[in-house]
Amino acid sequence: MNDDLKILSATVSPPEPVSEEDAERHVRERLHVLVEVKNEGVAPLHVWSDRRGYDFDVARGVLSLQLAELSEELPPGIEMISDHPRVPSHVIIEPGAEATIDVPVPTTVRHRTPGGGMGMSFAEESIDRIRRILISIQYADVPFQAIIGESPADMRVRLREHGAIARKTVSVRDRR
């Protein structure tokens, strides 16, 4: 199953304006990254379809997009005070079939910077001029199932071990 899912391409669609009502509730515009994938295996695949993490390197124009459980390591100086893992959304892709996964991404990314009250501040930077996307997509031949009463730590271990991860760096086709 390690090579069954192929990432074919990615397209970035411009953000759609939000309504005044949504803006009042602090809903922000989002880019849409359309990731095309193909099941090259012989069994249906349950492919994770929701964003688990993202980052943007402004200088290089590289968007890192995680549709896979994040690694165990938190950045230095970050302590998790509340852990609520969730069951990933997924799409089923039949053998030989292609699918497009629509991944909404905020139009900005927040990076830590030195300074401020506790020695740390945050700077918000626009996600624009994306040249490449580093994509990680988790998939398996069975869907991930929640276990009632399972601890968050145990669920995170199972999430990380579930199935396989397809990775690829793609140049972006921009539809702006």
Q: What is the pLDDT of residues 104-120, one digit of tens each?
A: 998 888 776 766 666 66
Q: Which of 35, 27, 12, 30 is nearest to 109 (CA)?
A: 30
**113 and 75 in contact (C-beta within 8 Å)?**
no
pLDDT above 90 (res 136): yes
CB 135 within 8 A of CB 65: yes
Task: Give the residue from 17, 9, 15, 14 showing the smallest Cα distance to 101.
Answer: 9
Per-residue pLDDT at 73 exceeds 80: no
Between these two residues, 75 and 37, which has the higher pLDDT value?
Answer: 37
Q: Taking the model in full, what pTM does it have?
A: 0.85
**Comparing 84 with 116, which gets the higher pLDDT?**
84
Amino acid type, 39: N
Name beta bridge partners: 108: 126
Q: Helical H runs in the chain?
A: 20-24, 152-161
